[in-house]
Structure 1
Amino acid sequence: MGQRTILVSLLLLFNYLLVAETETANQDFIALKALMDSWKDVPLSWSGSDPCDDGWDGIKCTNSHVTSIVLPSMGLTGHLSGDIGLLSELDTLDLSYNKGLTGSLPQEIGNLKLSNLFLVGCSFIGPIPDNIGSLQQLVFLSLNSNRFSGKIPASIGNLSKLTWLDLTDNQLEGPIPVSSGGAPGLDKLLNAKHFHLGMNKLSGTIPPQLFSSEMTLIHVLLDRNQLTGSIPSTLGLVQSLEVVRFDSNSLTGPVPLNINNLTKVSELYLSNNKLMGPLPNLSGIKSLGYLDMSNNSFDPSEFPPWLTTLGSLTTLKMEGTQLTGQIPVSLFSLTNLQTVVLKHNDLNGTLDIGTGYGMKLHRIELQDNKIDSLKQHDEVSSIKIILVNNPICQETGTTESYCFDLPFNITYAAPPNICLPVTCSSDQILSPKCKCAYPFMGILTFRTLSFLDWEKDAGLEKSLMDEFKEDHLPVDSVSLSNLTMNQFQYLELSLQVFPSGQDYFNRTEISSISCLLSNLTKHPFYFIAYTYGHYEDPMESSKSSHIAFITGAAVGGSVVLVLLLLAGIYAFHQKKRAEKAIAKSNPFGRWVSKDSECMTPQLKGIKQFSFVEIQKYTRNFSQDNDIGSGGYGKVYRGTLPDRQLVAIKRAQKDSKQGRIEFKAELELLSRVHHKNLVSLVGFCFERGEQMLVYEYVPNGTLHDTITGKSGIRLDWIRRLKVALGAARGLAYLHEHANPPIIHRDIKPNNILLDEHLNAKVADFGLSKPMIDCEKDHVTTQVKGTLGYLDPEYYTSQQLTEKSDVYSFGVVMLELITARKPIERGKYIVKVVRNSIDRTKDLYGLHEFLDPVIINLGSTLKGMEKFIDLSLMCLEDSSADRPTMNEVVKELENLLHSAGFNATAESSTAASTSSSYDEITTGSSQHLYSNESFDSSVVPLQQKIKAK
């Protein structure tokens, strides 16, 4: 790229000097030259003096005037020059998916004759210029997914031909503009089909004037704003509406009665507002497929009978709407019904699905109601029913499947990959047709949820391939994966488009594919592309040769200089390639020193990922995939090509301490395998990055659960199971790993819960093998987390397996109290010891127990023995503590006495990691000796800050 850029730049300079006239209109040429000056990485084809005849990528002309600039996904960086206003005949401007384009839109854009303006997924900032209302021919206006701020210009109301208005996902604020006193407003857009204004900061009321019977709107999307007031009754006048999204605002008042007149609406979202009054009667909307009225303040009411008449209904969500009474069995007989979410209500009686339920029904969520019985039918085993926190699940020892709360996993049935094993280079991906290539990738985002019905059709892959073939694009195949619901309740799919007959796409092909995917009249999604870093432009070298031939002797002297530069560049790249090859064969070579051969990790059976692959799996480390952070760095959710979900722990760059932990986890997790330990999938060590790839754990940390952050509530039996699972994982490390391993940082943040709420011990960054290549594996610097540290280890710096036992004892107390180990200067271990009265029920510790255990109605059988066991683990002398194996046996006995067969329990593997706090000290003072903990840890805190 560098050598060709130098050559083209020199040749272009001579062209400007030699060519006196151009067939392209001079004003248009000046405008394009200004754009070249304000952008980096323009297409290499932009090298002649006549953009219309020389085939500049993305440029189309009519009668020597530029009429179209279409450059999506070209990796452009810079700003949009005001000289764009010189293109007097410009009809279409599409610069979408160029994240490097920033700055504000120039006022001169209002001087154009645009009918199509697409600036999707860039980084433009500042206000939308008011004179955008001067574009009288504008039909499509898409400025979504930028960082525009300020108010929506009222002048947009002047665009009488506008059919598509998309300002979604910006930072726009203020009221929705409507006409007043001769000034325009959005209510004047009578030809508009789409108002997409969601995910902004719009405030004030929804003006009644915004809607009228003259409008032809299909979509009104105002979700995720700060709108207040009531839903205007004028909405019911827009008979053409098909999708209405008012969710996640602060709307109040009753739902207008005439909303029932919107007979074409298929999706209605009113959730997460403050709507009041009676539940609206929607019996007239027979086309309604997706209904969500959750989390409002409607009047308490019996289950509405009109719901059972909606034959098109696929998804019903009425969470937290104060529904009472019994659910009629006729609801479940709706032919198209798939998902029912009615949790957090007062529904009661017997749940009866019946025998005539719809064949598509697969999930019923009824958590936190008052249902006391379930009428069982053998035929409904395929339907996931969740009755957590209902009376039916509050009996001691209840283990029925419907008493566990599992996350809702949306799936997309993509065609299976039937390829034989093929080895691709590290940055290539295997296509569905078994070819290694560099695909063009991005995200399809569906603003409505009708996509859920597409699974019954031929498939989205086939639909897209048909379009690519129709446009004669060189696409071999497409792959869709990782169907997820993002934080804005929009469905997302990862898309990979593979080239045909070559490894790469060229710039023109990428631009054409992007345009097709952004065809607003065909698709129910919008497309956000990733930057494509691989281009193959076979014509460019011949084009450069042609230019060199024309310029002749004028460039003769420059060629010598260019050749010398190219020779130097070639030598430099050859050196870099050699270094890269060496680094790839031994990515840890830089860690090895002359004095220490033990710095190179010894790895067994884990995969090395490239940085490009990790970037791809995490959607370029997107914020939506950020699932946690700590002292080590951040954790991202990712999706591998085989659709396996993973958790990727990314160290802070250039972290020396992180390097040690990175090495420790790599070495340890590559050789330990147990159902109660996280599983390491692989790692990435290049570009200064240190990343660990684990299996993904859906239910997060034990800390998030016992503090209520995850929304999962554990009864007494489940807490015993969690304790047993973690204990088994530690026992394996201590007694079956070779060599034995001391975890050194056991705490609820480092115990994860899988989809079945089984415990997995995680985060081995501070772990210590009992036989190591270091000088002394027993005496070691004190590391761990304050509150869980073994006092004997702290004072003597002698690390043993019993140090983990002590930390586990603290976790046991935290499991039953849900209190931090150190609160308000008091240490929970000492507080419990001093409060125990063994003559009383539960040792008199009622006030310390987690209220959730009590509220779930569990009989706390074995609680006293559990407390005794935890205090045995917390003995000051390690010799008086049990081994983890003994802890496991005791917990199994406790579960057995509670009526549960612990030895038969099974679980699945998962992993992630959390934060840690590290302490280094040489003090011999007892760590938790004082009632007021602050006085004893001040020196430690000072040392932490010093580090």
Structure 2
Amino acid sequence: MNPKYLVFLLAASLQICSIAALTNSDDLTKLKALMDIWENLPPSWEGTDPCGDQWDGIKCINSRVTSITLSSMGLKGQMSGDITNLPELQILDLSYNKDLRGPLPASIGNLKKLKYLILVGCSFSGPIPNSVGSLQQLVYLSLNSNAFTGPIPPSIGNLSELYWLDLADNKLDGNIPVSTDTTPGLDMLVKTKHFHLGKNQLSGEIPSKLFSSDMTLIHVLFDSNKLTGSIPSTLALVQTLEVIRFDRNSLIGPVPSNLNVLTNVSELFLSNNGLTGPLPNLTGMSFLNYLDISNNSFDASDFPRWISTLQSLTTLMMEGTQLQGQIPPSFFSLANLQTVVLSNNRLNGTLDIGTINSDQLQLIDLQTNSISDYTPKPGQKQVDIILVNNPVCQETGVIASYCTVSRPNSSYVTLPNNCVPIPCRSNQISSPNCNCAYAYTGLLVFRAPSFSDLGNITIYISLQRSLMDSFRSNQLPVDSVSLSNPRKDLSEYLDLNLQVFPFDRDYFNQTIISQIGFVLSNQTFKPPKFFGPYYFIGDVYHYFAGEATRSNNSSNTGIIIGAVAGGSALLLLLVLAGLYAYRQKKRAERATEWNNPFAHWDSTKSSGAGFPQLKGARFFSFEELKKYTNNFSEANDIGSGGYGKVYRGVLPNGQLIAIKRAQQESLQGALEFKTEIELLSRVHHKNVVSLLGFCFERGEQMLIYEFVPNGSLNESLSGKSGIRLDWVRRLKIALGAARGLAYLHELANPPIIHRDIKTTNILLDERLNAKVADFGLSKPMSDTEKGHITTQVKGTMGYLDPEYYMTQQLTEKSDVYSFGVVMLELLTARKPIERGKYIVREVRMAMDRTKDLYNLHELLDPSIGLQTTLKGLDKFVDLAMECVKESGADRPIMGDVVKEIENILQLAGLNPNAESASTSASYEEAGKGSPRHPYSKDAFDYSGAFPPSKLEPQ
């Protein structure tokens, strides 16, 4: 074809397209403005006719844009005010784009016809604009899992059509707004079914005016905030309620006596508050499945008889509620019972579980009570019974299974549908129908499931079926879904990994991904009722493939448009051929890297840093870690310090990891980095945080550790984590940390001096077992260095061995000194240096061995349980003071410290070799909210080398 004629055809086609365009010019201008500020838009966003050219995620009516749905697209940028100038827009769903950030524009209120505002799982921040109250037609307002701050706008009360209000998992603070003579409030939302406001920082009392008999609420979720005052009795006016969560706040006073009139409630969570008075009588709540009132300050009482009348009960959580006496055997005959947790009470006598009628009962946890006898009956149903820290298990020679801590296995993964899975190429997954494909993945989170038996296969099969039914009813090309790794998080939410597989091809296109995301983000999908309220966090989908050339809807463009389309198709084929060749090249490179994980090891002959010799740790590529952390997103940034940043990541098998990423000024040479990872890869002990691997490419140095969920000891002692530590728990933490340190000194090869032992470097796992962490300053000792190492002084002021500071002679006894300070911190919950006072000196001056509690009443932490007998406290103080003696030669070695703490535990009537008795949830203090993260910016601390003048107090 003549080139001039081709140019003419192209020009003519553009002219015809502009004449036949279906999109309103003003709307086109606004979408073009979005293209200028957003990255990673779908490739279909080109041309001048979004409605006619069918841009992915865009829907129109009568040439006006009415819907923008772009979930899981990997969009980057901020919310532009241009989007608020689309007057006919009814749906805006940008969920699961974690790199969309910044504030919402105040002009959001201009979208007068908006019905769905859904921004789940992004990174938007700043206050929620008050103008959101102008969206009079709004039905769904889902802003959860972002970083919004400030108060809840009272203007939301003006949204008279609102059905769904979800502001959970943000940083909102202030009071819950209710209406006055001049301002609206949430009490005006009489059509709203869902109040999801958990995991924020809301404070003040729950207003009694918030609830009324006019309301139609079914879910009230206020968990994990900072709410105070009492539970308003007006809550009982909302007869439609099904799920109530007020747990993990600072609520006080008695539970309203009229709460039992809410006969439709199936899940009731009131745990981890400061509730007082008698245990609530919930007789009549015949649909109650899940009851958790643990860790409150109720009056001491016998096991309530009304509990045995709750025929629907699956789960009873009454840990730390001052129960006493015996459990009636009839209670265990409830037909639907799955889990019973009554630990940390005063239950006594003989345990008789009578006749078990439930075929679902998995666990009876009665740790730390006063049960004196239990004899399993012949033929009795196999149930995990835990009686650790009861007299029945403290007799010499008792080795019964119920005297150890065990939990039912809750692993689950969708099995193949009568087929054999086949090997798949990189990033593809074999579906339940044994087809290799690029799955759409994400996390389903259920906020209040009515069951606790996570190993029940039937419930997951029903969830899979309901998901498939929902996708099919919405005419989505989904072949199958897979669920895996069910687990409870610290808020008692149920997390499930979800994989969605495409039908009749191995990838989804942009349109289908946005539609699947919308089905899950706007709650079109309704799970089986026993799963309760949920939300979904989708992963960015990276596997879109080129689609066939789109047909043009304007049939009157004739042969000219066909010729142009043919030329465009040819050009597209050439581009695709180039992309295919490039992709094949990259795939070959990745294959080479996979076969040789050290292909990018940045070593040089001069550095002497050959490939590291690892024991248990492995190489992670930079691309892998990008994927596991969602491109090192801000949402996964969980800590920072002088070394760099720490990111949370998730491996393909669901395991959580912590990734310590060095900043440029902290990078070591190849030889030094190799030496460090070789050293840490040899450290394997249950009381030492494990190194899983490393990354050393693209100029990066990263260490990958196991993820330790319950933060640092410092956070628990300071009250920041919400975990309450009694005397026994502190003894066990001291023993665990001591064992970890003794391992480093005496069993590691080579022996290691930690050099920075402190409470921020002792982490607590899910069962509050102590793990020594952060080896940034550690020093291995070779055979020639046994005795001492002369080295520059490093450490943290307050924990620093004064002998080491003065002589620069580093020995294992320097760690012993630091551990002694940690022991004093366990006793007092005070910082080593606070307001100019040094804890070692304060204890030394106050000590009087002739007086009760060694005369340390004023220094001891009140939450240690001073009202109870602190068995072994005198010996613990003596040991701590031995550890902090001025001369290292006078201090014990860590092996002896371990033995002495074991003796103290035995003196307290406990088995020092028993596993921890409870999960961390057992020790969450009322009113403290959700535990902070172990790698939070306050917890993560790296103390590098410094001259004496630069030593900073901890």
| TM-score category of the 2 structures, normalised to the smaller one | 0.7 to 0.9
Overall identity of the aligned pairs, in %: 50
Give 1:713-732 correspondences, 5 Å limit: 713-714=727-728, 722=736, 725-726=739-740, 729-730=743-744
1:46 alignment partner, SS class: coil
Residue in structure 2 matched with residue 513 of structure 1 by the alignment: 516
Is the 8 Å Cα contact of residues 821 and 829 (structure 1) preserved in structure 2? no
Note closer, same or farther for the CA distance 1:30–1:326 as it changes in structure 2 (3 Å cut).
same
Residue in structure 1 matched with residue 177 of structure 2 by the alignment: 176
* Distance across 2 between alignment mates of 1:719 and 1:174: 37
Give 1:167-566 correspondences, 5 Å limit: 167-170=167-170, 171=172, 173-178=174-179, 186=186, 189-200=189-200, 210-225=210-225, 231-249=231-249, 254-273=254-273, 275=275, 277-296=277-296, 298-343=298-343, 345-356=345-356, 358-366=358-366, 371-377=370-376, 379=380, 382-385=383-386, 388=389, 411=410, 413-415=412-414, 425=426, 438-450=438-450, 452=452, 455=456, 456-457=458-459, 458-471=461-474, 473-475=476-478, 477-486=480-489, 488-499=491-502, 504-521=507-524, 522-523=526-527, 524-539=533-548
The more displaced of 749-758 and 450-459 is 749-758
In the TM superposition, residue 311 of structure 1 has moved relative to its aligned partner by: 0.9
Note closer, same or farther for the CA distance 1:623–1:386 as it changes in structure 2 (3 Å cut).
farther
Is the 8 Å Cα contact of residues 12 and 47 (structure 1) preserved in structure 2? no
2:241 alignment partner, SS class: coil
One-letter amino acid matched to 2:743: G
Note closer, same or farther for the CA distance 1:196–1:410 as it changes in structure 2 (3 Å cut).
farther
Note closer, same or farther for the CA distance 1:505–1:274 as it changes in structure 2 (3 Å cut).
same
Instruction: State which of 939, 948, 952 in structure 2 corresponds to 1:941.
Output: 948
Is the 8 Å Cα contact of residues 152 and 172 (structure 1) preserved in structure 2? no
* Distance across 2 between alignment mates of 1:712 and 1:619: 39
Is the 8 Å Cα contact of residues 649 and 658 (structure 2) preserved in structure 1? yes
In the TM superposition, residue 526 of structure 1 has moved relative to its aligned partner by: 1.4
1:667 alignment partner, SS class: helix
Residue in structure 2 matched with residue 159 of structure 1 by the alignment: 160
Residue in structure 2 matched with residue 51 of structure 1 by the alignment: 50
Note closer, same or farther for the CA distance 1:397–1:822 as it changes in structure 2 (3 Å cut).
farther
* Distance across 2 between alignment mates of 1:81 and 1:705: 42
2:260 alignment partner, SS class: helix
Residue in structure 2 matched with residue 607 of structure 1 by the alignment: 618
Is the 8 Å Cα contact of residues 76 and 101 (structure 1) preserved in structure 2? no
* Distance across 1 between alignment mates of 2:233 and 2:831: 55
Residue in structure 1 matched with residue 530 of structure 2 by the alignment: none
* Distance across 1 between alignment mates of 2:106 and 2:908: 72
* Distance across 1 between alignment mates of 2:589 and 2:559: 32
Confirm or deny that 1:684 pairs with 2:695. Answer: yes
* Distance across 1 between alignment mates of 2:755 and 2:625: 29
Residue in structure 1 matched with residue 928 of structure 2 by the alignment: none
* Distance across 1 between alignment mates of 2:298 and 2:780: 59
In the TM superposition, residue 745 of structure 1 has moved relative to its aligned partner by: 5.2
2:308 alignment partner, SS class: helix
1:381-408 CA-partner distances (Å, limit 9, x unpaired): 74243554x67678899988767788x8
Is the 8 Å Cα contact of residues 487 and 624 (structure 1) preserved in structure 2? no
* Distance across 2 between alignment mates of 1:14 and 1:619: 42
Residue in structure 2 matched with residue 22 of structure 1 by the alignment: 21
Residue in structure 1 matched with residue 929 of structure 2 by the alignment: none
In the TM superposition, residue 260 of structure 1 has moved relative to its aligned partner by: 2.3
Relative contact order (C-alpha < 8 Å, sep 6+): which is higher? Answer: 2
* Distance across 2 between alignment mates of 1:808 and 1:120: 49
Note closer, same or farther for the CA distance 1:474–1:808 as it changes in structure 2 (3 Å cut).
farther
Instruction: State which of 786, 800, 812 in structure 2 corresponds to 1:804.
Output: 812
Structure showing greater Rg: 1
Note closer, same or farther for the CA distance 1:902–1:34 as it changes in structure 2 (3 Å cut).
closer
* Distance across 1 between alignment mates of 2:40 and 2:236: 50
* Distance across 2 between alignment mates of 1:867 and 1:383: 40
In the TM superposition, residue 285 of structure 1 has moved relative to its aligned partner by: 1.2
1:608-636 CA-partner distances (Å, limit 9, x unpaired): 22345335545676899777766545556
Give 1:47-126 correspondences, 5 Å limit: 47-82=46-81, 84=83, 87-99=86-98, 100=100, 102-107=102-107, 109-110=109-110, 112-122=112-122, 123=124, 125-126=126-127
* Distance across 2 between alignment mates of 1:166 and 1:808: 50
In the TM superposition, residue 513 of structure 1 has moved relative to its aligned partner by: 1.7
In the TM superposition, residue 310 of structure 1 has moved relative to its aligned partner by: 0.3
2:536 alignment partner, SS class: strand
Residue in structure 2 matched with residue 933 of structure 1 by the alignment: none
Note closer, same or farther for the CA distance 1:224–1:550 as it changes in structure 2 (3 Å cut).
same
1:526 alignment partner, SS class: strand
Is the 8 Å Cα contact of residues 336 and 358 (structure 1) preserved in structure 2? yes
Is the 8 Å Cα contact of residues 752 and 760 (structure 1) preserved in structure 2? yes
* Distance across 1 between alignment mates of 2:251 and 2:479: 48
Is the 8 Å Cα contact of residues 194 and 217 (structure 1) preserved in structure 2? yes
Confirm or deny that 1:665 pairs with 2:665. Answer: no
* Distance across 1 between alignment mates of 2:770 and 2:432: 36
In the TM superposition, residue 47 of structure 1 has moved relative to its aligned partner by: 1.6
Note closer, same or farther for the CA distance 1:80–1:723 as it changes in structure 2 (3 Å cut).
closer
Is the 8 Å Cα contact of residues 465 and 478 (structure 1) preserved in structure 2? yes
Is the 8 Å Cα contact of residues 713 and 763 (structure 2) preserved in structure 1? yes
* Distance across 2 between alignment mates of 1:276 and 1:902: 34
- Listed as ranges, the gaps of 5+ residues in structure 2 are 1-9, 528-532, 917-933
In the TM superposition, residue 539 of structure 1 has moved relative to its aligned partner by: 3.6
One-letter amino acid matched to 2:536: F
One-letter amino acid matched to 1:811: F
The more displaced of 749-758 and 674-683 is 749-758
1:590-611 CA-partner distances (Å, limit 9, x unpaired): 7545643237644456322234
1:195 alignment partner, SS class: strand
* Distance across 2 between alignment mates of 1:85 and 1:830: 63
* Distance across 1 between alignment mates of 2:840 and 2:80: 67
TM-score by length of 1: 0.74
1:42-99 CA-partner distances (Å, limit 9, x unpaired): 3221222222221111222334343332222223344555555664544433232334
1:649-699 CA-partner distances (Å, limit 9, x unpaired): 444454236988753331123345567765432223345543323345567
Note closer, same or farther for the CA distance 1:27–1:603 as it changes in structure 2 (3 Å cut).
same
In the TM superposition, residue 177 of structure 1 has moved relative to its aligned partner by: 3.5
Note closer, same or farther for the CA distance 1:784–1:96 as it changes in structure 2 (3 Å cut).
closer
Note closer, same or farther for the CA distance 1:784–1:280 as it changes in structure 2 (3 Å cut).
closer
One-letter amino acid matched to 1:610: S
In the TM superposition, residue 512 of structure 1 has moved relative to its aligned partner by: 1.7
* Distance across 2 between alignment mates of 1:829 and 1:881: 14
In the TM superposition, residue 26 of structure 1 has moved relative to its aligned partner by: 3.8
Is the 8 Å Cα contact of residues 106 and 131 (structure 2) preserved in structure 1? no
One-letter amino acid matched to 1:159: S
* Distance across 2 between alignment mates of 1:733 and 1:244: 51
One-letter amino acid matched to 1:684: C
Note closer, same or farther for the CA distance 1:49–1:325 as it changes in structure 2 (3 Å cut).
same
TM-score by length of 2: 0.74
1:73 alignment partner, SS class: coil
Note closer, same or farther for the CA distance 1:812–1:608 as it changes in structure 2 (3 Å cut).
same
Q: For this pair of structures, how many residues does the alignment match?
A: 888
In the TM superposition, residue 511 of structure 1 has moved relative to its aligned partner by: 0.7
Residue in structure 1 matched with residue 725 of structure 2 by the alignment: 711
